[in-house]
Amino acid sequence: MSNYIKKNEFIEILENNGIEIDSTKDNINFERLSSSCAVIETYNYIYCVHYNTIICKFRKDDKQIVLHNGGYETVTTKENINRFLSMIYAPFKIFQKQYQWYIKDSSNDIKEFYNNIHLYK
């Protein structure tokens, strides 16, 4: 059994989370970050899906970023969030200290990470 998730499975995960994907309206771009993580770009959003969890969402019009680890504070989840942030040129980085996740911005300001945190690029 493989952990390799196919493009249509990632799109199904988005749809199962209430995100409507209209292939006639949305020019869907798909980029794989790993066998279990992919970035899916639609008209106004860029999503990062890791297994069955939308770990990042970037709204293009107002540059809002929403981060969510799905309860999985793993090295892999953190790496995939950081890859996504780098991909959209966001000035943030997730790091861990004594089992707690933090977010550092380009000014080296640090805040505690929590699920569904909203950041602005």
| Cα 48 from Cα 88, distance rounded (Å) | 11
Domain ranges in the chain?
7-120
pLDDT at residue 49 in the model: 93
pLDDT at residue 105 in the model: 95
Beta-carbon contacts of 51 under 8 Å, excluding residues fewer than 6 positions away, are 5, 36, 37
**Which residue shows structure tokens 């950041």?**
119
pLDDT at residue 61 in the model: 94
Global pTM value:
0.86
pLDDT at residue 35 in the model: 81
Question: pLDDT of the chain along its 121 residues, tens only?
Answer: 345 667 778 778 888 888 877 665 556 788 888 888 999 888 889 999 998 899 999 999 999 999 999 999 999 999 999 999 999 999 999 999 999 999 999 999 999 999 999 999 8
How far does the chain reach from its first CA to its final CA, in angstroms?
39
pLDDT at residue 2 in the model: 47
pLDDT at residue 12 in the model: 83
